[in-house]
Chains A and B, each alone.
Chain A
Amino acid sequence: NAGVTQTPKFRVLKTGQSMTLLCAQDMNHEYMYWYRQDPGMGLRLIHYSVGEGTTAKGEVPDGYNVSRLKKQNFLLGLESAAPSQTSVYFCASRAGLAGVRSHEQFFGPGTRLTVL
């Protein structure tokens, strides 16, 4: 049981390049989230998904796209990377409404992305 995993762990891009970050969870969770962490700003929600095939915008969605084709995977895409997207990206998942841990989010280890 790996929990939430993220690929890759580190990446350096040049401005204008594209890439996809992969988040995978093996807990059969319905909900998945992508956050970015910047110094002094905590974590901010980029996009989220409340189930397979659904996605929605969070607080800072511009410049990112997401897809949830399979329940266990949530992909975050940068079509044309910009230096402002240099950040640490965290993926999280959570189960549904019921249960003791129903509102707890389980986080992946993070991806450190630098855009030059």
Chain B
Amino acid sequence: AQKVTQAQTEISVVEKEDVTLDCVYETRDTTYYLFWYKQPPSGELVFLIRRNSFDEQNEISGRYSWNFQKSTSSFNFTITASQVVDSAVYFCALILISGNTGKLIFGQGTTLQVKP
């Protein structure tokens, strides 16, 4: 069975601190995509990144960076120099390519609070 685990339920940091959100996934498939979504207090889901299973390159986008390691089935997300606007719920998710249903399997979410 496929599963995504975000073990950190809530994280609280002070502005300008770096913070890493963990994501561990389980699947026997070799072809899949991993995603991170942000859900700010307004409630909408904001797409952050997609990574396919064949691309283990780390990615950096401004203050955001992602570390994908197939050996440990992890896809961690780091925010550098956090800001109050980063306060949100962050979801990691998995899509299997086989079967082509495109069903997203979400983790439980990590609530990040950045205090001024």
Stretch at the interface among B12-20, B61-69, B72-80, B100-108: B100-108
A-B contact count (CB 8 A): 58
- Determine if B7 is an interface residue (Cβ-Cβ < 8 Å): no
B102 partner, pick from A40, A43, A105, A107, beta carbons under 8 A = A105
| Closest CB in chain A relative to B53 CB, distance in Å | 11
B100 contacts A50, C-beta separation under 8 Å? yes
A104: which B residues are within 8 A, CB to CB?
Answer: 35, 47, 50
| Closest CB in chain A relative to B43 CB, distance in Å | 5
Assuming A33-B102, A106-B47, what are 16 further A-B pairs, CB within 8 angstroms? A43-B93, A44-B106, A48-B102, A48-B103, A50-B100, A90-B45, A92-B104, A97-B100, A103-B102, A104-B50, A105-B102, A105-B104, A107-B45, A109-B43, A109-B44, A112-B43
Interface residues of B (CB under 8 A from A): 4, 6, 9, 33, 35, 37, 43-45, 47, 50, 91, 93, 95, 97, 100-104, 106-109
